[in-house]
Amino acid sequence: NNGIKKPKGYTVSYHANPEMEQMHFGQKHPMKPWRLTLTNKIVMAYGMHDAMDIYIPRAASSQELKDFHSGDYIDFLQRVTPSDNTWDPDSQTYAYNTGDDCPIFDGLYNYCSLYAGASLDAARKLTNHQSDIAINWSGGLHHAKKAEASGFCYINDIVLAILQLLLHHPRVLYIDIDVHHGDGVEQAFWSTDRVMTLSFHKYNRAEFFPGTGALDTTGPLNNASPGAHHSLNVPLHDGIEDAQYIKLFEDIVRPCVRHYKPTAIVLQCGADSLGGDRLGCFNVNIKAHGACVAFVKKFNLPLLVLGGGGYTPRNVAKAWAYETSLCIGAEVHPNLPAHTPFLEHFGNEKTLFPKLDLTRYENKNSRVYLESVVMGIMEQLRYLQG
């Protein structure tokens, strides 16, 4: 047994339900719930489960899902089957924006209620003071809207988890390092100052999904609205590299915490911001992605750690397993343990830190550009009181 000791002075909980890992979005669809199996196998092979409280979360009830989502949308998800014709001739769309990105597959409702239940359980561990850090790699599905699926996301587990945290916390900081803009979370908390949303993403209004998240999108324009200046966006170009990304992240997150003074943090760790991702376009390595998690952990605030995107499964699993080790403060050997199941799926490099394919995207982020982004964020933070 090469187990890892529990961290001293704080508790980490890990919320994973193997039932949802079997789900299939359909042939060739980029979202592969199976990446969660790979993640859990690495975590267990290192013996990290000995250092955490492991929970097999329950499914969220339809009532819990309706705390954010509309009743008719949840009823639809609950009853729809792949053989139903959901085409609406009036709007010329499929119902509730289902379709190619958000297909209706067997077990869809079960899948949705399981990842949402996991995020809710994780949030409750934090509010009960039973955990200091709670991890749900199956969550982080940031595009889902109140009454609409979007971008592979059906239920917004992040919004539900933050609503749970808000029952006990005056201010929650939401940080999103998925390569896509966290539009669903931003929209849900647009008018409140009790949640600050901060998303780092590739931004190109016409060409990159979802097309929102410009630097000057910062909340309601009416300064009388409490939400004004509480939505922050860090729009990036292709190819951003490790040192740039880490510096940018720290230079922005540090003042956000100092000015906003959150009492809890939710971190969406979408792994499609890694180099070599099938859908992403950044050149960030696993160590640099993890450095963001390590930096956020240092604030010693109740922390909810979620997954998100990530479309090159072997890299997603390595990143999230590494980030789990950072959460428990364990130093793990970079080589994957020889007894790791599915070792053949992890590519030629049986290490947590493989050489990613960084040849596809040239770095289009100049130093001057990134400095202007940091200045733009600082300008918004000056509006906050205190």
Which residues in this chain contact Zn ion in the complex, by CB under 5 A? 178, 180, 270, 272, 309
> Is 64 or 176 the residue whose CB approaches ligand VJV more closely?
176
Q: How far is the CB of 100 from ligand VJV (least distance, A)?
A: 4
Please name the amino acid found at residue 349.
E
Q: Indicate whether 193 belongs to the interface with Ca ion (CB under 5 A).
A: no
CA-based nearest residue to 317, from 351, 279, 348, 359: 351
Give which of ligand VJV, Zn ion, Ca ion, none residue 47 binds (C-beta under 5 to 8 Å, depending on kind): none
Region binding ligand VJV by CB under 6 A among candidate stretches 28-36, 221-229, 254-262, 368-376? 28-36
Give which of Zn ion, Ca ion, ligand VJV, none residue 250 binds (C-beta under 5 to 8 Å, depending on kind): none
Q: Indicate whether 309 belongs to the interface with ligand VJV (CB under 6 A).
A: yes
Q: How far is the CB of 244 from Zn ion (least distance, A)?
A: 19
Q: Indicate whether 279 belongs to the interface with ligand VJV (CB under 6 A).
A: yes
CA-based nearest residue to 269, from 297, 238, 244, 241: 297
Region binding Ca ion by CB under 5 A among candidate stretches 126-134, 193-201, 227-235, 241-249? 193-201
Q: Tell me, yes or no, if 181 is annotated catalytic.
A: yes
Structure tokens at 169: 């916390």
Q: How far is the CB of 114 from ligand VJV (least distance, A)?
A: 15
Give which of Ca ion, ligand VJV, Zn ion, none residue 28 binds (C-beta under 5 to 8 Å, depending on kind): ligand VJV
The Cβ of residue 278 has, within 10 Å, a number of other Cβ atoms equal to 13
- Stretch (H or E) spanning 325: helix 313-328
Sign of the CA dihedral 245, 185, 139, 296?
A: positive
Q: Contact letters (x/-) for Ca ion, 102-131, by CB under 5 A?
A: ------------------------------
Q: Indicate whether 358 belongs to the interface with ligand VJV (CB under 6 A).
A: no
> Is 57 or 270 the residue whose CB approaches ligand VJV more closely?
270
Please name the amino acid found at residue 78.
Q
Q: Indicate whether 178 belongs to the interface with Ca ion (CB under 5 A).
A: yes
- Stretch (H or E) spanning 124: helix 108-127
Q: What are phi and psi of 330, to 5 degrees?
A: -100, 140
Contact 346, 224 (CB under 8 A): no
Residue 337 preceded by cis peptide, ω within 30: no
Contact 192, 227 (CB under 8 A): yes
Strand order in the sheet with 12-15: 53-55, 12-15, 133-136, 303-306, 264-268, 172-176, 195-202, 231-236
- Closest residue by beta carbon to ligand VJV: 309
The Cβ of residue 34 has, within 10 Å, a number of other Cβ atoms equal to 16
Among 30, 33, 255, 334, interactor with ligand VJV by CB under 6 A? 30
Dist. CA 214–CA 183, nearest whole Å? 11
Region binding ligand VJV by CB under 6 A among candidate stretches 108-116, 129-137, 147-155, 246-254? 147-155
Dist. CA 62–CA 118, nearest whole Å? 14
> Is 184 or 276 the residue whose CB approaches Ca ion more closely?
184
The distance from CA 217 to its chain's CA centroid, rounded to whole angstroms, is 20
Catalytic residue among 15, 49, 180, 181: 181
Q: How far is the CB of 80 from ligand VJV (least distance, A)?
A: 18
Q: Indicate whether 270 belongs to the interface with ligand VJV (CB under 6 A).
A: yes
The residue length of the chain stands at 386
Q: What share of the chain is helix, strand, coil (3-state, %, to 5)?
A: 35, 15, 50
Q: Indicate whether 199 belongs to the interface with Ca ion (CB under 5 A).
A: yes
Q: How many residues bind ligand VJV (CB under 6 A)?
A: 19
Q: How far is the CB of 182 from ligand VJV (least distance, A)?
A: 8
> Is 124 or 201 the residue whose CB approaches Ca ion more closely?
201
Residues of this chain that bind Ca ion (CB under 5 A):
176, 178, 199, 201
Q: Which residues bind ligand VJV (CB under 6 A)?
A: 28-30, 100-101, 141-143, 151-153, 178, 180, 209, 270, 272, 279, 308-309
Active site positions, annotated: 181
